[in-house]
Structure 1
Amino acid sequence: MLKKNLTGLAAGFVLSLTASVADARDLAFAVFVPAASPTVQKIYQPWVDWFNAEATNDDVQISLFAGGTLGRNPRAQAQMVADGVADLALTVPAYTPGVFPDFDMFELPGFANDVREGSLASLEMHQEGLLHGYENYYVVAMYSSGAYMLHTRDAVNSIDDLSGMRIRVGGQIQTAVIESLGGVPQSMSAGEMAENIDRGLIDGAMSDASVARTFRVADVAMNHYDANLGVLVFAIVMNRDVYASLSDHAKELLAQSGQFIADRQIENYGVAINGNIQGWQDSADHSVVIPEDADRAEIATRVQPVIDMVAANASPGLIEAYKAKLKDIRNR
């Protein structure tokens, strides 16, 4: 009889736990990149799993909707959160020119060298209250891509070789940078890059090494000019009313999430980029050019007007704070 009663109690506990999970508030996390992408598999889904496990007693969980299930337009993700279509979303500040001017500096050449520097700088500067533009949201995480490279059909051995080349860009800062370096910017989606290079409609693209491989740019543009031409910042944002309604423990988990996500971006995305570049260096079909100091100095001179433009539109002293943050990160 005792065994039977214990069995009944155990079954009741399981049913109660199942009901509690089923009744938990479900927060929709909108991600416009495909579910099969490494970023979803190695960063976003592990974060969601970690949060849900830690928030078991908070009656809240996050469900990831990848591949644009809740909305495919990358430029509309923040508005989806504001409108309540999603509770959280992956956003890219650079995709909405003029809305987040403090974030333009991350796309400037000659600053962040890699994923680690870009991710830690953007996250920590946000946490320190130095970056403005997302005040209407709760920012869960900030992190960056790797440094932009030029991937071209014909070799770019020095910045002078870029003159007249038609280069795919994504956004106003990349456009200004390519123009300052003598190239001809061409705006198109990431999915169109490889086909247009293959057809000879453009001469190359500006992206980090992972994007170049993911979107098959490196299959048709086998010359890679590794000139540290800026990084792209990503932000995961949450509806402020939704955030305010959460328990203190759930808020603490969200406060920890920025570092959780940045660490995995550095660990996974950074390693993938280094592997791609090493593979190209080892391949007889590819060339990787790392500019000499004189070429880097020439790039810096040419893009200075772009830096001045970005500084004029950003919060006062922001670029100096960015330089100081990068120096601090490199000394760790």
Structure 2
Amino acid sequence: MKTTLTGLAAGLALTLATGASARDLAFAVFVPAASPTVQHVYQPWVDWFNEQAAADDVQITLYAGGTLGRNPLAQAQMVADGVADIGLTVPSYTPGVYPDFDVFELPGFARNTAEGSQAALELYQEGALRGYEDYYVVAMYTSGAYMLHSREPIASVADIEGQRFRVAGQIQTQVIEALGGVPHSMGAGEMAEAIDRGLIDGAMTDASVARTFRVADVAHNHYESSLGVLVFSILMNRGVYDSLPPRVHELLAQSGQFIVDRQVESYAPAIEANIAAWAESPDATLVVPSAEDEAEIARRVQPVIDRVAASASEGLIEAYTAKLEDIRAR
């Protein structure tokens, strides 16, 4: 296990000098090994990469469940420091550091993981997103559209007033406040118990996370408005990237789309299945906001959009809107 920059550099020097063993790149993932994303996205990518890079004596070893470091906020620094060669990060976990990525969390834009993931990847590849210049970005993708899951039914925006919702990050906090709710920040693993104990009234998250973290077991009412998506990025240490042969660079360039495609193939059906189950269940309610409600949500969150636009790169909101329109027309 690589735990220091010195150790990584020494291992690299030995490998390059002798050519006697494969270059083993450590991929740090803070989510559990049993999670669907590890099983259906990360491990298939590692397997594909290792098969393709075998001739170059380069391989990736995945360390899931926080083996190299459990703190989600520290993953990018771990990669910079050489604790890991590659790491899974979430830009919104460090508010203010990557302001361009806030646009993806805005309501009314991406409607699902396919739109969000493709838009994030392409905008970054086109140079429209600032951030991570000191790294090589292997991939970017997103969650599904965030929605509200609550103990009490939400028939319209008016019913959000005063309800306490779990949020993650400053943009979700601002969105819930704009809709009249009361935001409560907590980890994903705390959501279900907090709802069950009456400490909060619901959670703002996508349909897959709501099922995975048992939110849907205690919050049987689902308000299906598109309240933004969450961006994930997979980063590589820039020095490590520069030391790899050209053929491996080509594989890494292909990896972004590979990962997005696997995310869409595995995540989107899980979300659709959960929503369909809630629509059919006599014990759950699923509300799709009316056109009037969607217009009211847009009106209320416009100040949040304006603040994000002011902090982001000039013209990014317009570029994001145009990218989504282009993706939908394909």
The TM-score with structure 2 as length reference comes to 0.94
Aligned position for 2:281: 283
1:167 is paired with a residue of what secondary structure?
strand
Greater Rg, structure 1 or structure 2?
1
Q: Tell me how far apart the structure 2 counterparts of residues 201 and 287 of structure 1 sit (CA, whole Å).
A: 21
1:182 is paired with a residue of what secondary structure?
coil
Aligned position for 1:105: 103
Task: State the 1:59 CA deviation.
Answer: 1.3
Q: Tell me how far apart the structure 1 counterparts of residues 102 and 64 of structure 2 sit (CA, whole Å).
A: 26
* CA offsets 1:33-57 (integer angstroms, 9 cap, x no match): 0000110001000000000000011
* CA offsets 1:210-232 (integer angstroms, 9 cap, x no match): 00000000000000000000000
Task: State the 1:23 CA deviation.
Answer: 1.4
The answer as to 2:38 corresponding to 1:78 is no
Q: Tell me how far apart the structure 1 counterparts of residues 255 and 277 of structure 2 sit (CA, whole Å).
A: 32
1:186 is paired with a residue of what secondary structure?
strand
* CA offsets 1:267-313 (integer angstroms, 9 cap, x no match): 10011100110111111111110000000000000000000000000
5+ long unaligned stretches in structure 1: 1-19
Answer yes or no: is the 8 Å Cα contact 1:21–1:56 preserved in 2.
no
* CA offsets 1:37-81 (integer angstroms, 9 cap, x no match): 110001000000000000011111000000000000101000000
2:269 is paired with a residue of what secondary structure?
helix
Q: Tell me how far apart the structure 1 counterparts of residues 329 and 322 of structure 2 sit (CA, whole Å).
A: 11
Q: Tell me how far apart the structure 2 counterparts of residues 157 and 67 of structure 1 sit (CA, whole Å).
A: 38
Q: Tell me how far apart the structure 2 counterparts of residues 279 and 261 of structure 1 sit (CA, whole Å).
A: 27
Kindly provide the amino acid, as one letter, of the partner of residue 267 in structure 1. Answer: E
Give the RMSD, CA atoms, in angstroms.
1.0
* CA offsets 1:163-208 (integer angstroms, 9 cap, x no match): 0000000000000000000000001100000000000000000000
Task: State the 1:21 CA deviation.
Answer: 11
Q: Tell me how far apart the structure 2 counterparts of residues 277 and 254 of structure 1 sit (CA, whole Å).
A: 34
1:161-240 to structure 2, matched below 5 A, reads 161-240=159-238
Aligned position for 2:319: 321
Displacement over 6 Å in runs of 4+: none
Q: Tell me how far apart the structure 1 counterparts of residues 308 and 254 of structure 2 sit (CA, whole Å).
A: 31
Match of 1:153 among 148, 151, 154: 151
1:213 is paired with a residue of what secondary structure?
helix
1:258-297 to structure 2, matched below 5 A, reads 258-297=256-295
1:130 is paired with a residue of what secondary structure?
coil
5+ long unaligned stretches in structure 2: 1-17
Q: Tell me how far apart the structure 1 counterparts of residues 273 and 65 of structure 2 sit (CA, whole Å).
A: 26
Kindly provide the amino acid, as one letter, of the partner of residue 145 in structure 1. Answer: S
Kindly provide the amino acid, as one letter, of the partner of residue 173 in structure 1. Answer: I
Match of 2:141 among 140, 143, 153: 143
The answer as to 2:51 corresponding to 1:36 is no
Task: State the 1:101 CA deviation.
Answer: 0.2
Aligned position for 1:66: 64
* CA offsets 1:74-123 (integer angstroms, 9 cap, x no match): 01000000000000000000100000000000000000000100000000
Q: Tell me how far apart the structure 2 counterparts of residues 322 and 38 of structure 1 sit (CA, whole Å).
A: 28
1:67 is paired with a residue of what secondary structure?
coil
Aligned position for 1:7: none
Q: Tell me how far apart the structure 2 counterparts of residues 163 and 125 of structure 1 sit (CA, whole Å).
A: 35
Task: State the 1:162 CA deviation.
Answer: 0.3
The TM-score with structure 1 as length reference comes to 0.93
